[in-house]
């Protein structure tokens, strides 16, 4: 059942992983110091949801031809999901009104059934073709289950002489003429995208936190942004933080400091994470964790596991599961409203829904 595929953003080369041994289970991110491999990390490591390190030999491959039919997704529990989300929203929002948190992220899931057979590998290929700006990965292990990811958010990427991370927060959906933004020959510029105070404040919280984390591992860093970055039919506010680390031997410590960022957790980090784990209706599992290549002697490319879905009852990458769980979340501030935040999660889930279309 173990398999892994990935494609980096703004590239066309796709890689298939050949497992050299069973995935290694780790209890903490600090155990990644000095290690290399493909990492699959959850939102919060536990005995039931460990950090996985895969020893993989990579082979370049061509994307398979798309011979499968388009499928629709049926959500029989939509009303129940809305009701559950509204209860969670009120619970989380009360903490913001009381001043317990300045920001906290509320996530939700949707359990869906596909109307036609579509294999994981076909969905991966469609995601690669549809989302050239994103990190796209398909991985499956006995411990993690099978996941497809198409995420715009870098956690850490680069080499010894220069690494970068990003503060990505704030979300808007592109509509009508805006869909030409950041496309060749498009008439819509960044100046035409207008951000609310709430979105700018949310992004500022994330940028401040990540910059403070980086300061513990480097005295040579710079911050550029925020600017508007496109991801599918959505745009986000993004600041790029570039730094030269003191040492590559403690990448695990850096990851432990950064993860989970306020973009998927909250401020303050530890208390908001504990509140999420105790009060959120869904177990996040590997959603809002991170995945990708860890290599302290070469190129590290790790991405936050957003815009993802879990596939059930997968025997191999060419099988055709019928049940899927989609995940999405959004950062809540005092100014947030339940309907607006729900609509944002629906827009984010569309990233995965689009992979069922050719």
Tens of pLDDT, residue by residue, the chain (358 residues): 799 999 999 999 999 999 989 999 999 999 999 999 999 999 999 999 999 999 999 999 999 999 888 998 999 889 999 999 999 999 999 999 999 999 999 999 999 999 999 999 999 999 999 999 999 999 999 999 999 999 999 999 999 999 999 988 888 888 878 888 888 778 788 888 889 888 898 888 889 999 999 999 999 999 998 999 888 888 889 999 999 999 999 999 999 999 999 889 998 899 999 999 999 999 999 999 999 999 999 999 999 999 999 999 888 899 888 899 999 999 999 999 999 999 999 999 999 999 999 8
CA distance 38 to 139: 10
pLDDT at 165: 96
CA distance 49 to 206: 26
- Assign 3 to helix, strand or coil: strand
pLDDT at 48: 94
CA distance 317 to 313: 11
Top-level CATH class of 3-356? alpha beta
pLDDT at 199: 87
Structure tokens at 330: 């959004």
CA distance 253 to 338: 36
User: Cβ(226)–Cβ(195) under 8 Å?
Assistant: no
**Burial class of residue 228 (count of CB atoms within 10 Å of its CB; 0-12, 13-18, 19+):** buried
CA distance 119 to 145: 15
CA distance 112 to 124: 18
Among all chains, which residue has been given the structure tokens 């493909």? 38
User: Cβ(58)–Cβ(315) under 8 Å?
Assistant: no
User: Cβ(222)–Cβ(165) under 8 Å?
Assistant: no
User: Cβ(234)–Cβ(171) under 8 Å?
Assistant: yes
Domain boundaries, the chain: 3-356
């Amino acid at each position: 059942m173990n398999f892994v595929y990935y494609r980096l953003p703004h590239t066309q080369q796709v890689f298939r992983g050949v497992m050299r041994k069973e995935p290694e289970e780790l209890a903490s991110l600090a155990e990644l110091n000095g290690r290399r491999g493909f990492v699959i990390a959850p939102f919060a490591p536990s005995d039931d949801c460990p950090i996985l390190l895969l020893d993989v030999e990579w082979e370049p491959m061509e994307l398979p031809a798309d011979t499968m039919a388009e499928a629709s997704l049926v959500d029989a529990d939509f009303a129940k999901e809305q009701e559950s989300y509204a209860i969670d929203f009120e619970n989380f929002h009360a903490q913001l009104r009381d001043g317990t948190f300045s920001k906290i992220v509320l996530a939700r899931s949707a359990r869906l059934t596909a109307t036609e057979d579509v294999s994981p590998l076909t969905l991966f290929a469609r995601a690669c073709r549809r989302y050239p700006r994103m990190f796209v990965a398909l991985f499956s292990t006995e411990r993690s289950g099978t996941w497809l990811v198409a995420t715009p958010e870098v956690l850490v990427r680069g080499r010894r002489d220069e690494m970068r991370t990003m503060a990505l927060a704030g979300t808007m959906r592109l509509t009508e003429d805006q869909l030409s933004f950041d496309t060749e020959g498009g008439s819509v510029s960044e100046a035409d995208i207008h951000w609310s105070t709430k979105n700018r404040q949310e992004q500022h919280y994330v940028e401040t936190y990540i910059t403070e984390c980086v300061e513990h591992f480097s005295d040579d860093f710079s911050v550029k942004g925020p600017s508007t970055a496109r991801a599918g039919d959505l745009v986000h506010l993004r600041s790029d933080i570039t730094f030269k680390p003191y040492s590559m031997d403690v990448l695990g410590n850096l990851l432990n400091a950064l993860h989970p960022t306020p973009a998927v957790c909250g401020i303050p980090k530890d208390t908001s994470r504990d509140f999420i784990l105790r009060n959120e209706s869904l177990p996040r599992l590997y959603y809002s964790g991170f995945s990708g290549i860890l290599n302290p002697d070469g190129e590290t490319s790790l991405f936050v596991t957003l815009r993802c879905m879990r596939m059930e009852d997968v025997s191999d990458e060419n099988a055709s599961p019928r049940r899927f769980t989609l995940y999405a979340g959004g950062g809540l501030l005092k100014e947030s409203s339940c309907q607006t935040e729900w609509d944002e999660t629906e827009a984010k889930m569309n990233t995965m829904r689009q992979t069922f279309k050719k």
